[in-house]
Amino acid sequence: MKDYAEKTAVVTGGASGIGLALGRELAARGARVVLADVEQSALDTAVAGLRETGGQAHGVVTDVSDYESVVALERRSVELGDGKVHLLFNNAGVGVYEDLPLWELPLVDWKWTLDVNLWGVIHGLRAFVPGMLAHGEPGHVVNTSSGNGGLSLLPTTPIYSTSKAAVSTLTESLHLQLVAAGAAIRASVLYPGPHMVSSNIFTAFRNRPSGLLRDEGQQTPPTLDEIREMVAGMGQELELTSPEQVAAMAMSALDDDEYWILDMSDDTEAAVRARLENILHRHTP
């Protein structure tokens, strides 16, 4: 897509981080932006900020782990978009503190992460894609994965890696089925990077449902500042990518109708190559 004027774009996890940065990019291109987020106050602030710069923006409180909530988002987005949604960014995501071997990690950690990171995407596709196909106009679906799981993995974060690996597989299947169907909409997978992104995912615990809390032990993963301190303690400097850089990369890829939205660091590329070599040559990881 190259023409975004008056097109309706829905962004989940839109009140902060990559989601908000995407909203700003879309609004600057003339799109009608619908930001969806579970946090009302942050959503109000984000929408107000876009409107102050002349953007068309609306906010809809949405829990992507709840299908009926996503269906309600779709209905409201269609109303706001004069009957049509053209762009869907399934971007909402969370991370948990994975401090134990995977066979000991609490099931509530698995459930919350998969409910948001995977089921949130599934809910978005099920709620929005039929209508996007029905109106017959060009459009795009972008699902946010991660280099961690989607490309290679960190063995110390099996829950997060599993959720993002699933998003990558799901998106590739979606892409191929849309092409086979001759659809006017396309799909892409977004891998934020090339470095760790300075987003609010490190404090996602603030939105964790009370029924999915751990019974005991640390509840929150390290903050970005704590990670920076740990890296500094090893004599290194933490390299970061801003949400704005990710959003600009994503929009450039959409302009050129690219499937892989990806800017790999040297370390990530080396990890991907090593993993593929292991597969091709049947090497044990």
Tokens of 224: 């970005």
> In percent, how much of the chain has pLDDT > 70?
99
* pLDDT band at residue 224 under the 50/70/90 scheme: confident
- Band of pLDDT at residue 216, cut at 50, 70 and 90: confident
- The number of beta carbons lying within 10 Å of the beta carbon of residue 126 is 13
Rounded to 10 deg, the angle between the 17-28 and 243-255 helix axes is 50
- Which tokens sit at 237? 């400097």
- Cα 58 to Cα 49, 50, 61, 142: the distances in Å are 11, 9, 10, 19
DSSP state of 1: -
Q: Count the Cβ atoms, other than its own, within 10 Å of residue 102.
A: 15
| Radius of gyration (C-alpha) of the chain in whole angstroms | 19
Are 242 and 121 spatial neighbours (Cβ–Cβ below 8 Å)?
no
For residue 217, is pLDDT > 70?
A: no
User: Side chain identity at 127, as an amino acid letter?
Assistant: A
User: In whole angstroms, what is the distance from residue 279 CA to residue 262 CA?
Assistant: 22
66-114 tens-digit pLDDT: 999 999 999 999 999 989 999 999 999 999 999 999 999 999 999 999 9
Inter-residue contact 74 to 127 (CB < 8 Å): yes
The model's confidence at residue 186, banded by pLDDT at 50, 70 and 90, is very high
What percentage of the chain exceeds 90 in pLDDT? 85
Rounded to two decimals, the pTM is: 0.95
To the nearest whole number, what is the mean pLDDT of the chain? Answer: 95
Q: What is the mean pLDDT of residues 16-41?
A: 98
Instruction: Point out the residues that are catalytic.
Output: 160
Domains, the chain, with CATH or none: 8-280 (3.40.50.720)
Give the C-alpha separation, 235 to 251, whole Å. Answer: 35
- More confidently predicted of 210 and 223: 210
Question: Helix, strand or coil for residue 61?
Answer: strand
